[in-house]
Chain A
Amino acid sequence: MNYYIVTKEVFENMIQGDITFAHHLSDTCIVTSTEDVSDTLHEFANTTELANHTGLDEWEIDETEYLSGL
């Protein structure tokens, strides 16, 4: 699994079926995906690092189902 913060534009071009979690901010997106993305703003090693950086709870990242378009 990969843990990123990306721009909206990058997010919209990611493979939707590979995304497991997405949290939209005003102009960026916190996302976890099995896809390898190179054009990122931040990259994290695991859920804990991502949670610490974003202020999200680890359980929320792990358990929130991603639904493409919803």
Chain B
Amino acid sequence: MGTVSKLTGVLATSISKVSGVVITSFAKIAGQLVSLFTNTNAVAKSITVTDAQSIRLHDTNAMGVEWDQSDDFSISFWVKPGWNSTHSSSTYLFFMNDIGGGVHDNTIRMWYKRSNNRLNVDWRSSSTAKTSQFWLFHSQAAAYVDSYNAAGLGASYWSSANRGNVGDDDYTMITITKGTGTSSAFTNLDLYWNGTTCGNGFYSSGNNTGTPSMGNNDRQIALGSSTYGTYNLSGNAAETKFDGLTMWDKRLTAADVAELYNSGTPIDATTHSASSDLKGYWEFEANGNATVGGEAFVISGNSNIEVR
């Protein structure tokens, strides 16, 4: 049987519901198992710095992710570390700031520092108006046991040889969810490892210098590096892979995150129950084009789309 392109004369580009029920993964047609959502590829970040090796985009269409310090939002992606245990530096997982700006210019970022096994989050509008938070994963002390259990790394640090709790293909889904407060106080910012909360961040009120005063202009975004200068802080031994970047204009609930995690198998995020708040979605299947948001990542140098 050939490819079905029309149903009762109407062009069929996708099937998302059957008899009113949302279909997110597999279904059968005439007894044959068919996949309605495929996720076979990811984007691999070169271990070399410079913009010519980056995964980056310039947001030019006000897609709805130009958040300021008072906005609630969530950012989620799947990551498969390529750095090894000798990596003494940091790796930016996600970086967003003003187009042409530096580290202090309306920045929202996440980075993992392997030398102290901390995942850091901050946002800032200047060097004197910033807030940051972090979680660490290798201590079973009461203050850190939630992140210890969520990550499953044990006493060793996160690396390609110790990926901890993972979903399909050894990917971990990392999600931050922010409320409408301006600081990174642990009541205003959550980190999830896969579908599990990492508990309170280190700073009860956030690590604050002044109060960020961010604009809502278009942003530049990078995965696996900063967005400016030498696009530094990538990995070391092997490429780190990213998949399924989603950006939400709401603070996702724990149930929302669990739905997105889907027991470790990525879903089509457009079918998520909170999809009305999904402002950016990149599947990284054939290219870096957005499924939601209309903006495309430029993937250059040795960074490329690969099999997961």
Contacts and interface: CB of A to CB of B under 8 A. Distances in A.
Given A23-B115, A24-B115, A70-B116, A65 B88 contact: no
A49 interface: no
Contact of B88 (A23, A57, A59): A23
A63 B132 CA distance: 9
Contacts of B113: 64
B41 interface: no
A2 B86 CA distance: 27
B115 A70 contact: no
A70 B88 contact: no
A65 B132 CA distance: 11
B207 A65 contact: yes
A35 interface: no
Contacts of B207: 63, 65
Interface residues of B, number: 15
Contacts of A59: 103, 127
A11 B127 CA distance: 30
A60 interface: yes
A65 B202 contact: yes
Contacts, number: 24
Interface residues of A, number: 12
A25 interface: yes
Interface string A13-39: 000000000011110000000000000
Interface string A50-68: 0000000101100111010
Contacts of A57: 103
Pairs of residues from A and B, 10 with the lowest C-beta to C-beta distance, nearest first: A24-B115, A25-B88, A70-B139, A23-B115, A59-B103, A70-B136, A63-B132, A24-B88, A65-B207, A65-B202
24 contacts: A23-B88, A23-B115, A24-B88, A24-B115, A25-B88, A26-B86, A26-B88, A57-B103, A59-B103, A59-B127, A60-B90, A63-B132, A63-B207, A64-B113, A64-B116, A65-B134, A65-B202, A65-B207, A67-B116, A67-B136, A70-B116, A70-B136, A70-B138, A70-B139
